[in-house]
Amino acid sequence: MSDKPVPRPSEDTAEFWDTCNDGRFLVQRCTDCGHERFYPAAVCPNCWNTEWEDIELDGNGSIESFTIVHRAPTEAFEEETPYVVALVTMGSDMTVMANVLAEPEEVSVGDAVELTWEDRDGQQLYQFELANR
Amino acid sequence: MWVCDGITHMGSTQQVAVTGIGESPIGSLPDMDSINLYAAACLEAVDDAGLEKDDIDGLVTGYSLVDPKLMHSTVVTDYLGLNLAYNESLRLGGATPFAGVCHAANAVRQGQCENVIVAFGDNRQTGFKKGDGVSSLATEVGHPEFENPFGPMVPSLYALIAQKHMAEHGTTAEELATVAVTCREHAAMRGAGQQTEPIDVNDVLASDMISSPLHKLECALISDCAGAVVVSSSEAAEETPSPIELTGYGEGHGSEYIHRRDELLQTPAAESGTTAFEMADRTPDDVDVAQLYDCFTITPLLLLEDLGFCEKGDGGQFVRERGITTDGDLPVNTHGGELSYAGAGVFHILEAVRQIRGDAAETQVDADLALAHGVGGVLSTNATLLMEGW
Contact assignment for A77 to B134 by CB distance below 8 Å: no
Residue pLDDT, tens place only, B314-345: 999 999 999 999 999 999 999 999 999 999 99
Cα–Cα dist A121/A52, whole Å: 30
pLDDT bin (cut points 50, 70, 90) of residue B34 is very high
Contact assignment for A69 to B154 by CB distance below 8 Å: no
Residue B126 near residue B64 (C-beta atoms within 8 A): no
> Is residue B134's pLDDT more than 90?
no
Q: Tell me the shortest Cα–Cα distance from B369 to chain A, in angstroms.
A: 37
Cα–Cα dist A89/A97, whole Å: 9
- Per DSSP, what are the bridge partners of residue B7? B4
- For chain B, percent of residues with pLDDT exceeding 70: 95
> Is residue B130's pLDDT more than 80?
no
pLDDT bin (cut points 50, 70, 90) of residue B76 is very high
Taking CB atoms and an 8 Å cut-off, how many pairs form between chains A and B? 117
Q: What count of other Cβ atoms lies within 10 Å of the Cβ of residue B239? A: 13
For B370-380, b where at least 16 C-beta lie within 10 A, e where not — what string?
A: bbbbbbbbbbb
Contact assignment for B149 to A5 by CB distance below 8 Å: yes
> Is residue B11's pLDDT more than 80?
no
Cα–Cα dist B240/B261, whole Å: 45
- Per DSSP, what are the bridge partners of residue B352? none
The pLDDT score that the predictor gives to residue B262 is: 87
> Is residue B132's pLDDT more than 60?
no
Cα–Cα dist B339/B372, whole Å: 16
Contact assignment for B261 to A95 by CB distance below 8 Å: yes
The pLDDT score that the predictor gives to residue A43 is: 98
Cα–Cα dist A122/B73, whole Å: 44
The pLDDT score that the predictor gives to residue B128 is: 84
Could you tell me where the DSSP H helices lie in chain B? 34-48, 72-80, 96-109, 124-130, 133-141, 154-169, 173-190, 201-206, 234-237, 269-280, 298-306, 315-317, 337-340, 346-357
Of B149, B211, B264, the CB nearest to A67: B211
Residue pLDDT, tens place only, B339-390: 999 999 999 999 999 999 999 999 999 999 999 999 999 999 999 999 999 9
Chain B CB contacts of A39 under 8 Å are 143, 145-146, 260
Residue pLDDT, tens place only, B223-262: 999 999 999 999 999 999 999 999 999 999 999 999 999 8
Residue pLDDT, tens place only, B158-177: 999 999 999 999 999 999 99
Q: Coil, strand, or helix at residue B18?
A: strand
Of B132, B145, B211, the CB nearest to A69: B211
Residue pLDDT, tens place only, A15-58: 999 999 999 999 999 999 999 999 999 999 999 999 999 999 99
- Mean pLDDT of all residues belonging to chain B: 94
Chain A CB contacts of B135 under 8 Å are 73-75
pLDDT bin (cut points 50, 70, 90) of residue B3 is very low
The pLDDT score that the predictor gives to residue B84 is: 98
Contact assignment for A77 to B151 by CB distance below 8 Å: yes
Q: Tell me the shortest Cα–Cα distance from B52 to chain A, in angstroms.
A: 45
Of B145, B155, B164, the CB nearest to A65: B164
Annotation: CATH topology of B12-127+221-389? Peroxisomal Thiolase; Chain A, domain 1 (3.40.47)
Of B144, B149, B152, the CB nearest to A4: B149
Chain B CB contacts of A99 under 8 Å are 150-151
CATH of domain A58-133: 2.40.50
The pLDDT score that the predictor gives to residue B13 is: 79
Residue type, A63: I
Q: Coil, strand, or helix at residue B150?
A: helix
Task: Pick A132 or B146 by higher pLDDT.
Answer: B146
Of B135, B144, B168, the CB nearest to A73: B135
Could you tell me the sign of the dihedral formed by the alpha carbons of B307, B308, B313, B315, in that order? negative
E strand or H helix at B249, and its extent? strand B244-253
pLDDT bin (cut points 50, 70, 90) of residue B102 is very high
**Mean pLDDT (whole number) for B271-277:** 98
Q: Which residue from B minimizes the CA distance to A76?
A: B151
The pLDDT score that the predictor gives to residue A132 is: 80
> Is residue A60's pLDDT more than 50?
yes
**Mean pLDDT (whole number) for B97-122:** 97
Contact assignment for B156 to A85 by CB distance below 8 Å: yes
- Return the residue in B148, B150, B259 with the most chain A beta carbons within 10 A, the one to mutate for interface testing: B150
- SS3 annotation, B83-122: CCCEEEECCECECHHHHHHHHHHHHHHCCCCCEEEEEEEE
The structural domains of chain A, with segments of one domain joined by +, span 7-56, 58-133
The pLDDT score that the predictor gives to residue A1 is: 52
Q: Which residue from A minimizes the CA distance to B261?
A: A95
Cα–Cα dist B250/B276, whole Å: 5
> Is residue B148's pLDDT more than 70?
yes
Contacts of B122 (CB under 8 A, 6+ apart): B34, B37, B62, B63, B64, B65, B66, B224, B225, B226, B344
The pLDDT score that the predictor gives to residue B7 is: 43
The structural domains of chain B, with segments of one domain joined by +, span 12-127+221-389
DSSP A35-55: -EESS--SS-TTT----EEEE
pLDDT bin (cut points 50, 70, 90) of residue B131 is low
**Mean pLDDT (whole number) for B28-54:** 96
- Return the residue in B136, B139, B145 with the most chain A beta carbons within 10 A, the one to mutate for interface testing: B145
Chain A CB contacts of B167 under 8 Å are 65, 108-110
- Per DSSP, what are the bridge partners of residue B380? none
Half-sphere exposure of B100 (CA within 13 A, CB side): 35
Residue pLDDT, tens place only, B207-227: 999 999 999 999 999 999 999
> Is residue A64's pLDDT more than 50?
yes
Q: At what angle do helices B154-169 and B133-141 cross, to 10 degrees?
A: 50
**Strand B115-123 to strand B58-61: parallel, antiparallel, or no bridges (unpaired)?**
parallel
Cα–Cα dist B39/B95, whole Å: 20
C-alpha closest to that of B91 among B349, B338, B380: B380
